[in-house]
Amino acid sequence: MFRIKYRRHLAAIFAGALAIVLGIRAYVSTLGPVLPVPVPADFAQLDSLLKSHLMACIRPLRDSPRDSHLREELALAYAANGFWSEAQLLFDQLSILDPQDPLPLLYSGVAREELHDPAASLVLYRRVTEMFPQFAPGWSRLGTAALEADSFDVAQSAFARLTSLAPQEWRGPAGAGELELRRGKPGEAIPLLERAVQLNPDSRTAHHLLGRSYLSMGRTNEASLQLALGRNVEGHPMPDAWTDRALAHIKSRADVLRLAKDALDEGDPATAARYYEEIRVHHPNEPELLNQLAIAYNRLNQPAKAIDLVERVLKTDPRHVAAQITAAYANSTLGRYTEALAHADAAVQITPDLALAHLARANAFLGLNRDLEAVAALESAHRADPGNAQLLVELGTILWRNLDRPDAALERLESARKLDPALAPIYPRITALYLQLGRTADALATVEIWKLVRPKDPEIPAALARIQSSRGTQFPHSIPSP
Amino acid sequence: MPTNTGVPIPQSIGPAWFQESAKSSGIQFQHASGHQSRHWMPEMESGGVGLLDYDGDGWLDIFFVSGGSLNPGPTPGSGNRLYRNLHNGRFEDVTHTSGITSGSDYGMGCACADFDGDGWVDLYVTNLRTNRLWKNNGNGTFTDVTEKAGVTCPSWSTSAAFFDANGDGLLDLVVVNYIKWTPETELACFSRGGRPDYCSPLNYQAPALTTLYRNRGDGTFEDVTKSAGLEQAYGNGLGVAVGDFNQDGRLDFFVANDAMPNQLWLNQGNFRFIDEGLLRGCALNSHGTARAGMGVVTVDLLDRGWMDLFVTHLVGEGNGLFINTNGYFIDTRSTRGPMTGSLPSTGFGVAFADFDHDGIQDLYVANGRVKYGDQSILPEDPYAEPNSLLRGLGGGEFERVNPEGGTTNPLVATSRGLAIGDLDNDGDLDVVVVNRDSSPYLLRNEVPKRGRAIQFRVVDPQNHLVPNARLCVEAAGRRQFRQASPNEGYCSSQDPRVHVGLGVANGVDRVTVRWPSGSEEIFGPYPAGGVVTLQQGSGKPASGVFQYK
């Protein structure tokens, strides 16, 4: 009896245990194991903006550690803020959890590249392209990495594949062109790079490579222009589905400030102000931040708000040059030019060789209709920063429009063009000046270069029409449509 | 200790190449950046060293450049120091008796040369504001002749070089300037984690001009920056290297800019220069991106008779090699080149030298971050990094030396200026490194030698050293090309003698010197060992040795 009972007990225990094991196994196999959530060693010391953002990604993942989407968000948050060791671990995990998604594996490679392990990243990029042959960003990354590693054959097939998968993507022909250039075949690189420039006239990389190719072929004039158009290249990998998601995770103060500055430079003060306000929540009294925010508000035509901010800065530090300059501009926006001039004068007094301070002065003088003094101030700015073509453009424009001195204006604008032939705003001005001076041939020659600098500039057809009407000739039908 | 991946490194640990012996040699110099709480940009770039035989006894002495203080209060550290070589492995601090003072200067670097041709090497110290020219009086003392000579250069100067720009036999002076900076224009910048940190030079948007002074020959200089055409290109200049890069018989100079395009100022004659860096392929990397150029040296890496340029860069960029092909440069990347393993580090001081006498130049790079990194190697110095030593394998290939940096115990600091020279006159090259807010390294060469070596003093008919003379040294069927380049690297000045490792050869068959004017002369043969003086006019005329191959 006992024995039977015992056996029944044993069977029940065994069945129960088996059920538990099978249940766990089923659970684990369905949802995957609980994976660790990495946290940077210096987390406690991080800036509060960054820390709170990361914590907002860490906490839900800790609560739902099997949620791939949350793991992706944290991985991207780490990557976007430069925590590549932590990001690498998460991307590695994700590449196992989501083996059908190319992005985790791709970003595992990116993380290794960022951690200065190009050999490992190349291996991973190869794996991405083997597993996901239709995934164009994988081929782009592989081609670039292979080129860096002198694996020319791999690079060649990668760029060829990229071009066939994404024929409108400039990186395909640009990579193939760079490869030919590296192989010492600039003649073969040129058509590829010309195609890349055609696909994306704003790609400085393509312009630079094309310039180098022209140079190697002895086409120096064309090379000079292309190299000028290719100045200040910043490498950007081919965008993928995670690119914008990663951008939204940038919360490192240094990087948010950079994004804001980029937005300001690109004429988007609203975005800049949004970034600055985001930091201001955590750093309400930081002088540089307040000054930058003031610049953004002034450009948003909210000068009173800007003045309020810079006055806070100047109250604690009257020698804050940047704030003095911002105060000058904000007062100018309000039409308070005398106050603007006082701030600009203060800036010049503090740093006499700062071009921006002289520029602020010139701006105030213009508001006061003291054009000659404005020109003198701009000349001072130019002396302080003679390599700045934009200053010469301003100078030339005032000499032309305000003082009706077309010859002097042309001289300044031509100097600006010599300094920076890629500065597009020069061309309509020079063209118009040549026309005003009756030099239609020079005007036409200028437009020809203008077309190379900014082929899709809507002002070009109008300029050509003006030249045409001024000398009554017909022009080739190659005029780009607006 | 972090290790680099994907980089050839010998598995077995070999013998140490250097013995660090600054303290035991009597050197008490302590660099001071003056950093307290605010991150003033100049604190990050300061620190140079010069090797000069100031007392003419045939032994190299050492001049260290310290920073100073940008904060109120007393100047920290030891200030600039001059150490006299006592010929017994020890050095004596002679700063006080030499008359050299630092005062309130904030020091960056130095360049050493006999600017007035009196036979005594002088000292030009670059500073944040006013530079100093210390004239060597020939009696162990120096006199500040800056004002009289007209070389104050009231900018933030970094590297400088004396060279004969117009072939008149007088040493002119090029001074590289960084950014237009004042305490009022300082900005608040942050590390990745949001901690206050040093800025990028681009934050200031205030690049500076390089300054050029013409030596009038009467102890004074004329500022010819504008008339020479140098105001056509601005940059955040940190390094300078001089050479006849297009082999037209005129000395040109290259300026390494931090995060802006480099400049290659080609000498047009009559003190006119044109920047052709962009056109000639050495302004940017091969993708068209401006890197953070710090130190720069000339090197004929493949012994072809054309001078290449090697520039140290920021972490993640890798150091850069511009190979000179017929006066045009190619940004060259290679997994086995001299940039090997440099991605994780930020390089400053740099020198190619044949430390082990195998007839192939090795490479030493002084590293140190400019911003907080992911992990601190030294808890007390978040910017510290180990220095790099690469052994040249020939054909432009290198491997990392194990032990790292060539010393038994790795040396980790925020290193800046670096100078190489034969400090103990034993025929091999030693290294001196300045470290931010720390003691310097004096690295005595003790690597087992793979061959013999020879050194050359290259002088004009009046026995003045001739910077930028180039040598083609032929031994045992091999040719090696060198330039006398005392003023290059980062904010530093090197042994003016030209050192050549000979490998298995017992001597030199002949040496062809290409003088800065473009003329060539043949000297030799010479046995290995010792220092040979090559005097202009005493060799046999030659031509065509320095041709592109």
User: Tens digits of per-residue pLDDT, B47-83?
Assistant: 999 999 999 999 999 999 999 999 877 777 779 999 9
d(CA B122, CA B132): 11
Nearest to B391 by CA among B376, B373, B408, B403: B403
Residues A171, A163: Cα–Cα separation, whole Å: 8
Q: How far apart are CA A471 and CA A172, in angstroms?
A: 44
Q: What is the pLDDT of residue A8?
A: 58
**Does the pLDDT of residue A219 top 50, yes or no?**
yes
| pLDDT score at A472 | 54
Residue contact B188–A227, C-beta within 8 A: no
Question: Inter-chain contact A387–B182, Cβ cutoff 8 Å?
Answer: no
Check residue A442 and give its pLDDT. 95
> Of the given ranges (A21-30, A430-439, A467-476, B435-444), which has the lowest mean pLDDT?
A21-30
What pLDDT score does A479 carry?
Answer: 29
CB pairs under 8 A between A and B: 126
Q: Give the DSSP H or E segment for B190.
A: strand B189-190
Q: Residue A382: left (phi > 0), alpha (psi -120 to 50), or beta?
A: alpha
Q: Is B434:B416 a contact under the CB 8 Å cutoff?
A: yes
Cβ-defined contact of B289 to A234 (cutoff 8 Å)? yes
**For residues B470 and A1, what is the distance between their CA atoms, to the nearest angstrom?**
107
Indicate if the pLDDT at residue A26 is higher than 50.
Answer: no
| Predicted local confidence at residue B11, as pLDDT | 62
3-class DSSP state of B399:
strand
* pLDDT of residue B134 exceeding 70: yes
Of A74, A133, A134, the closest CA to residue A107 belongs to: A74
Q: How far apart are CA B29 and CA B94, in angstroms?
A: 12
Are A81 and B192 in contact (CB < 8 Å)? yes
| Residue A62 C-alpha from the chain's centroid | 33
Nearest by CB to residue B288, choosing from A50, A119, A205, is: A205
Where do runs of H (alpha helix) occur along A266-405?
269-280, 287-299, 303-316, 321-333, 337-350, 355-367, 371-384, 389-401
- Determine contact, residues B62/B50, Cβ cutoff 8 Å: yes
> With 80 as the cut, is the pLDDT of residue B414 above it?
yes
Token pair for residue A225? 């222009």
- Give the pLDDT band (50/70/90) at residue B426: very high
State how far the alpha carbon of B106 is from the alpha carbons of A466, B52, B75, B77, B156, in Å.
Answer: 59, 21, 9, 12, 9
pLDDT confidence of residue A129: 98
| Residue B263 predicted with pLDDT over 90 | yes
Residue scoring higher pLDDT (B168 or B12): B168
- Give the mutation candidate from B286, B372, B375 for the A interface (greatest A CB count, under 10 A): B286
- Hey, which residues 421-480 in chain A have their CB within 8 Å of chain B? none
Q: B-chain residues within 8 Å CB-CB of A114?
A: 316
**DSSP letter at B185?**
G
Give the pLDDT band (50/70/90) at residue A20: low
Q: What distances in angstroms separate CA B113 from CA B135, B251, B267, B401, B465, one per listed residue?
A: 10, 17, 21, 33, 8
Contacts of A233 in chain B (CB under 8 A): 284, 287-290
**A254 interfaces chain B, CB cutoff of 8 Å:** yes
**HEC secondary structure over A147-196:** HHCCCHHHHHHHHHHHHHHCCCCCHHHHHHHHHHHHCCCHHHHHHHHHHH
Which residue among B188, B195, B343 sits closest to A45, beta carbon to beta carbon? B195
- Cα radius of gyration (chain A): 30
Three-state SS at A442? helix
Q: B185 to chain A, minimum CA–CA distance in Å?
A: 6
Residue A353 pLDDT greater than 90, yes or no? no
Tokens of A363: 């701006």
Among B213, B305, B203, smallest CA distance to B253 is for: B213
pTM to 2 decimal places: 0.89
- Residue pLDDT, tens place only, B462-489: 999 999 999 999 999 999 999 999 999 9
pLDDT score for B373: 80
Would you place residue B547 in the very low, low, confident or very high pLDDT band (cuts 50, 70, 90)? Answer: low
Q: What is the mean pLDDT of residues B304-323?
A: 95
In whole angstroms, give the CA distance from residue A91 to residue A105: 7
Q: What is the mean predicted confidence (pLDDT) over A447-466?
A: 92
B379–A contact, CB cutoff 8 A? no
Q: Cα B252 to the chain's mean position, in Å?
A: 16
Residue A42 pLDDT grade (very low, low, confident, very high; cuts 50, 70, 90): confident
Any A CB within 8 A of B287 CB = yes
Which residue from B207, B231, B344 is facing A116, i.e. has the nearest CB?
B344
Q: What is the pLDDT of residue A482?
A: 27
Determine contact: B202 vs chain A, CB below 8 A. Answer: no
Task: Specify the amino acid at residue A87.
Answer: A
Mean of the per-residue pLDDT values of chain A? 90
**The pLDDT of residue A10:** 56
> What is the pLDDT at residue B100?
97
Q: Does B335 touch chain A (CB under 8 A)?
A: yes
The DSSP bridge pattern shows strands B531-535 and B452-459 to be parallel
> To the nearest 10°, the Cα dihedral for A406, A411, A414, A416?
-110
pLDDT at B6: 39
Confidence band of B345 (pLDDT split at 50, 70, 90): very high
The answer to whether B332 contacts chain A (CB < 8 Å) is no
Spell out where B276-376 has E strands. 296-299, 308-311, 320-325, 328-332, 347-353, 362-367
Q: What is the mean pLDDT of residues A107-121?
A: 95
Q: How confident is the model over B509-525, as pLDDT tens digits?
A: 999 999 988 899 999 89
Which pLDDT value is given to residue A25? 46
Q: DSSP class of residue A371? A: H
Compute the nearest-CA separation of B266 from chain A (Å): 16
Site of tokens 């005595």: B444
Average pLDDT over residues A69-87: 96
User: Is A208 in contact with B284 (CB distance < 8 Å)?
Assistant: yes
| B232 part of contact set with chain A, CB < 8 Å | yes
Name the helix (H) or strand (E) containing A460. helix A459-471
Cβ pair A273, A293 in contact under 8 A:
yes
Token output for B297 = 């040296």
Q: What percent of chain B is modeled with pLDDT above 70? A: 97
> Residue type for B256, please?
A
Position A426 confidence tier, pLDDT thresholds 50, 70, 90:
very high
Q: What is the mean pLDDT of residues A168-184?
A: 96
d(CA A378, CA A358): 6
Residue B71: the pLDDT is 84
| Gyration radius from chain B CA atoms | 21
Percentage of residues in chain A with pLDDT exceeding 90?
80
Q: Which one of A55, A81, A116, A256 makes the best mutation probe of the B interface by having the most chain B beta carbons within 10 Å?
A: A116
Query: What is the band of B376 on the pLDDT scale with cuts at 50, 70, 90?
Result: confident
Q: What does the pLDDT read at residue B232?
A: 84
Q: How many helices (H) and strands (E) does chain B have?
A: 3, 42
Tokens of B329: 């440069």
Residue A13 predicted with pLDDT over 70: no
Residue A236 is predicted with a pLDDT of: 87
Residues within 8 A of B (CB atoms), A 185-214 only:
204-205, 207-209, 212
Q: Which of A290-294, B260-264, B402-406 has the lowest mean pLDDT?
A: B402-406
Give alpha helix (H) positions in B163-204: 201-204
B-chain residue closest to A289, CA distance: B188
| Mean pLDDT across chain B | 93
